Structure formats: C-alpha cells, structure tokens
Amino acid sequence: MEKTNQVHIPRVKLGNQGLEVSRLGFGCGCLTGYYNAPLSHEDGSLIIKEAFNKGITFFDTADIYGHNHDNEFMVGKALKELPREKVQLATKFGIFISDEIPFGVKGTPEYVRECCEASLKRLDVNYIDLYYQHRVDTTVPIEDTVGELKKLVEEGKIKYIGLSEANADTIKRAHAVHPITALQMEYSLWTREIEEEIVPLCRELGIGIVAYGPLGRGLLAGKAVAEPLPSESVLATHPRFSGENLERNKLFYKTLGDLASKHACTPSQLALAWLLHQGNDIIPIPATTKVRNLESNIGSLALEVTDEEWTEISDAVPCYEVAGTRDHDILFKYSWKFANTPSK
C-alpha cells in the first residue's frame, strides 16, 4: 500500500538568507541518465512540469549531468513552460571530465565565472537561485572560490551560494566570506555520517541541508531488490550494489518493508518520511523518471508516526551495518571527509 491522496506541499526556509523552497525538492539528474537510460527532452520536461503542478518548486541540476551538459538544456526547456518567479532553480559547477582526466574538480575564480556564464546560457535564464560548488577543490583556498561567487551574487547572476560535500572547516571559512545558504550532502536512513558534526554546525550557522540520495540511491525504494539493475546504470559497479554487499543490503529493504506495511505505505515513503522528520531545515531531493514514483514520494509528507515509531524506523537500518562505501572510489576521495583546502 502507499499514500496516494492529494497532499499539500508546504514551503519552508532553506537557510536563513531568505530562500524559500518546497518541502520536497526534485533531483533532475536521473532524467538524462546515470541510474537508468536517459529520457527525451520532451519526456523529461513533462516530469518536471508534473512535479511543479503537484507543488514541487525546487529543482536541482548540475553542469556535469547528462552527456554534453544535457540536463541543464532539458531543465531550461521545461522552465520555459513554467512561471520562472515561482521556481527555485539550483545548479552546480566544479566537476569536470576530459579524455585525460576521468573525474576532476576545479574551483578557481576564473572557472567559477566561466561555469556560471555557461550554465546561464544552457538554462536560458537571467539568474540562478542557488549555485553550488559541486565538490571542493582541495588545491584552491575556499576563500578564493567563494569570493568569486560573492561577486556573482552582487552582479545578480546568482541569488544564493551553496556548497556540496564540504567539511566543517571549509564550511566555516566559506561562510565567513559570504553567507552560505545550503549544503548539499548525501543523507538517508543508510547514510548518516553528517549527523554528528555537519548537521549541528549548519544549524549553528543557519545553513539549510539539501539531502541527495535520500532513498539510498534507490535501494530503499526497491531498486536492485526484485530485478537486476539496468545495463545503463552506474549502480552496477557501486560498492553497495555489488556482490555480497548487495545481498546484505537487501535485508534492510525487507525490514523497512515490514515496518511500512504497519503504516499502510511503501518502504520508500517511510524512508523519505524519516528524513523529513529530521527537521524542516533538511530538504530531500528524490529523483525519478516516473510520475507514479513522483506521486509516491509526495505521499511521504502525509505520514503520521509517533516518536517511538520513528526510533523503530531508525533502528531498522543501522547505518554502521550497511555493506560497502557510499560511493565509487573515484568519487569517494572527493567526499566531505577529505575536503580540506589550503590556507588563504
């Protein structure tokens, strides 16, 4: 069973700089492939417009999503059919791929500006609501990167500044240059490392948290449980979706499913509801290519659970027992735990 009634999606403040977003966001990255085959621009735009019509106004993309920046082009097309002033658009810069470098990170002031100008053109917009540094460049002082972002704010090209996968020291130093509005981090029932240090720091500084991978990259929604992963999916080589790790991790989905049946909802709805329960300053951005899954995700907002039951749900997926690191090795070394930058 699942919650499918019409649900009102409230608006909340993301950080304390003035940005308001829908309580649930939408991750657009999967629309141009990654976990699945890419959709056409027409079909992808239909999903985005459907999300907006159901009350989601916060959309997340990045210049690296899709072949040749295809995701930003798709999102830009969808925005042409929506009231721009009612949409909170987030995109990111900083990750690059070349023939020589399979995965690189760059945060020089010149690159910040170059990427922003390019994203504005691809999205065909006059401004970006929330502009993130996608990964921290450990060769460039964070003050230099954020200093250029500050100039872009002053020029009206971006409204708010965000970071992704940044550690505590980097967050503090960045925030001293210009207030950081949001920190995007992986956060879900099976990935909770940020709870000890990062979440309290963000609350102290008034920084909102945008949770990517809120459904455990799909496993908490049943991906790879009943059927093999699509051949196009990068999850086929993901540490948590490979070999014995996958078999062990499938047990968490079963346990979550048993609990979900008690609440007349799906495991994915329970997992999202748990994340929403962590605080109004935490905004999940689940991704999907299907309207049915979109409706299911929205239904998570309607779940009513007691404090005792929330504890039971937390205990159902003990994160220290999850098998495998939370990302591919090539990406994991750029995660927040290794995100120190040189002193200015």
Closest CA to 115 of 258, 123, 306: 123
The per-residue b/e assignment along 152-173, b for 16 or more CB within 10 angstroms, e otherwise, is bbeeebbbbbbbbbbbeebbeb
CA distance 13 to 182: 10
Coarse DSSP helix, strand, coil percentages of the chain, rounded to the nearest 5 percent: 45, 15, 40
Among candidate residues 65, 132, 160, 212, the one labeled active-site is: 65
Phi-psi region of 147 (alpha: psi -120 to 50; beta: other; left: phi over 0): alpha
C-alpha 136/C-alpha 183 separation (Å) is 12
Residues 6 or more apart whose Cβ sits within 8 Å of residue 120: 126, 127, 128, 157
Rounding to the nearest 10 degrees, give the CA dihedral for residues 200, 204, 210, 213.
-10
Q: Which residues pair with 105 in a beta bridge?
A: 95
Is 65 considered catalytic here? yes
In sequence order, the 6+-apart residues with CB closer than 8 A to the CB of 87 are 52, 57, 59, 79, 129
Do 287 and 301 touch, CB atoms closer than 8 A?
A: no
User: Which residues are within 8 A (CB) of 24 and not within 5 positions of it... i.e. 6 or more apart?
Assistant: 9, 56, 58, 272, 276, 283, 284, 285, 286, 297, 298, 300, 301
Q: Are 283 and 209 in contact (CB under 8 A)?
A: yes
Which residues have a catalytic role annotated? 65
